[in-house]
Amino acid sequence: NSGTNSYLYQNLVKTQKAVSAGSFHDCAELACTMYVYAMGNSGKKGDLTVLNKELMDTLEQFSKEGVEQERLDQITGMAEADAVFALQSVKGKVSQLASNQTFYGQPDRIESQLDQIRAVTPESVSKAYQDFIEGKHKVTLSVVPKKQLDLAVREATFTTPDRTLPEYSKVTEDQLDIRKAPNTFDRSVMPEVNFGVEATMPDLYRMHFANGTDLIGTETNETPTVQLQIQLPAGERYVRQGQEGLANLTAAMMEEGSTQRTVEELQATLDKLGSSVSINAGSYTTDISISTLEKNLPQTLAIAEEVLFKPKFDEQDFERVKKQMLEGVVYQHQQPSWMASQATREVLFGNSIFGRASDGTKASLESLTLDDVKLFYSQHYTPEGANIVIVGDISKKEASKQLQFFEQWQGDAAPLTRPQIIKELSGQRLYLVDKPGAPQSIVRLVRKGLPFDATGELYLSQLANFNLAGNFNSRINQNLREDKAYTYGASGYFASTRETGAVVFSAQVRANATVPSIQEFINELNEFSQSGLTDEEVKFMRLAVGQQDALKYETPSQKAGLLSNIVALSLDEDYLQQRNQIVETVSKETLNELSKKWFDPNDYQIIVVGDATSLRPQLEKLDIPIEELEIIR
């Protein structure tokens, strides 16, 4: 697999021969397929001939050495926990029951399935490898940059075979074994929705620690699991200009083992417990996410404590992680979707911190040192201003007892963020970002929006947008996708942070439909801002918004996300109920006034990512000033 204790990770990723590597097994009704993959470095270092040999050598090593019982115990621990976590949602329950009934005639097969996993031995794994993998036919796929076929494993030998399809028109009905599902209702009649579903807030409890940390939690005992999230004031918003990516790099280094145990030893223990501890940096916080069976919470928190307070910060690990992040940036920043997002940031927010790529640039990442990571850790990994969210089969009293280690932690407040000045835009422009040879274009209409609010103008404006571009049946999606077939999907949304926001309408369209798509966006915005919603659209919004949100707060991890918003953004505990009331009572006149304010197409900047050479002559017909934008990567 792709875990830190796997052959592929140890042989290819940790040795920096590959950016990533792993394997997985995919089974369908008729056959199963084993996939083994590795991603090479960018440029000439990504010679797949060398990487393929390393990968084949690793498979040979596995063939000879097999798997130890210790590793099987870890896999069994993960399988048992996964079976429980899969039952946290309605979808998970239904999927398990339906799949097991369909393929095995035994809907409650989970326990017997786990018994089969527990019965696996090192010998049976080796036998399965010899029987089904060793020496069997395989297909090798090389993915390399254009015109650099010399980097491929070898010259391609595969040719697509001819297919002979039967002439179905000549097959009579009596020759087919048609199985018709019995109808107990009229399928031509769409079921009516008589009322909207309303999200409800669970019962909450709070605690405040003397070290400056706030805790919010809720008890739920549907499954014997606990989801815990520690939010530290260590997001990318706190990073100085020129050090973009530092928060992400620090979070990645926190996952590289402690001064007491290696990352492999820590992961082996977590796997046995069926638990996970992950650290990820966001805009304003770095989150330590902990997921575990309730019975294994103490052991899992002990690992989280070790990782948090005793990070290894090894120079060799730092060089490897930094290199992986650099390779990731090189790959990600070539994607048209990322280019469109970065163009949006730069157009709307200029040289402010909000105009920077949070994952860093090649230049910013290359400049970072291990000392930068250590300094960021010492200043921002602090309990002062931190938040803890806990959801699961655990009481407030027990939660307080288990978190004594965090309550006793002392630290100073993190440095404050600096206010940002954002230059106002004047006049409408079309910004063209070149993606040579692109067969598709990304079209965006963007303007500055509002900072986050839960029940104020931002939320009301989102309700106004629901019928314009906020769901599949919205005007813009129906126009560009269903009527014109320019795109697979067109949407619009209000993005917001604590400090600022943006309104974005976007679609990925055929290159030859770029100009017509822009025109349709403008037409739809113009019509909606001037004429507003119909009575039918208001009715649809009232019914649909609650239905759309019905399962957003179902599982412990979803509830944890809800609670983290409450504590991080200082929201009212009953804000969901307040939203329900707004959806039910907001007038069409209010939504129309907001539509007039926010959806006037003349207030939007236009961004196009695509082949500039072919697009520019067409775009000039729009009679909008064009500026070619060289985004910062």
Mean predicted confidence (pLDDT) in 194-207: 81
pLDDT recorded at residue 554: 85
Residue 141 in this model has a pLDDT that exceeds 80: yes
For 438-466, the pLDDT digits (tens) are 999 999 999 999 999 999 999 999 999 99
Give the residue-averaged pLDDT of 313-321: 95
pLDDT > 80? residue 44: no
Which pLDDT score is estimated for 272?
94
Judged against a pLDDT cut of 70, whether residue 418 lies above it is answered with: yes
Q: What is the pLDDT of residues 582-616, one digit of tens each?
A: 999 999 999 999 999 999 999 999 999 999 999 99
- pTM comes to 0.88
Which whole number is the average pLDDT over 207-215?
Answer: 96
Report how far residue 15's alpha carbon sits from residue 20's, in angstroms, rounded to the nearest whole number: 11
pLDDT of residue 633: 80
Between residues 160 and 595, which one has the greater pLDDT?
Answer: 595
Looking at residue 172, its pLDDT comes to 66
Residue 409: per-residue pLDDT: 96
Q: What is the band of 170 on the pLDDT scale with cuts at 50, 70, 90?
A: low
**pLDDT attached to residue 168:** 63
| DSSP annotation string for 512-560 | GGHHHHHHHHHHHHHHHHHH---HHHHHHHHHHHHHHHTTTT-SHHHHH
Q: How confident is the model at residue 174 (pLDDT cuts 50, 70, 90)?
A: low
- Stretch (H or E) spanning 126: helix 122-132
pLDDT at position 46:
76
- Distance from C-alpha of 600 to C-alpha of 531, rounded to nearest angstrom: 11
pLDDT in tens, 536-558: 999 999 988 877 777 778 889 99
* Rounded percentage of the chain residues whose pLDDT exceeds 70: 98
Residue 327 CB neighbours (<10 A): 21
Identify the pLDDT of residue 349. Answer: 95
Question: What is the pLDDT, as a whole number, of residue 42?
Answer: 80
Q: Please say whether the beta carbons of 290 and 228 come within 8 A.
A: yes
Sign of the four-CA dihedral 438, 442, 447, 450: negative
- Report pLDDT digits (tens) over 471-516: 999 999 999 999 999 999 999 999 999 999 999 999 999 999 999 9
pLDDT-derived band at 110 (thresholds 50, 70, 90) equals: confident
User: Strands, E, within 358-468: which ranges?
Assistant: 387-392, 430-434, 440-448
| pLDDT (average), residues 83-103 | 90
Residue 196 pLDDT grade (very low, low, confident, very high; cuts 50, 70, 90): low
Torsion angle, alpha carbons of 103, 109, 110, 116, to 10: -90
Mean of the per-residue pLDDT values of the chain: 92
Query: Are the CB atoms for 387 and 564 separated by under 8 Å?
Result: yes
pLDDT band, very low/low/confident/very high, at 263 (cuts 50, 70, 90): very high
Does the structure show a pLDDT above 80 at 50?
Answer: yes
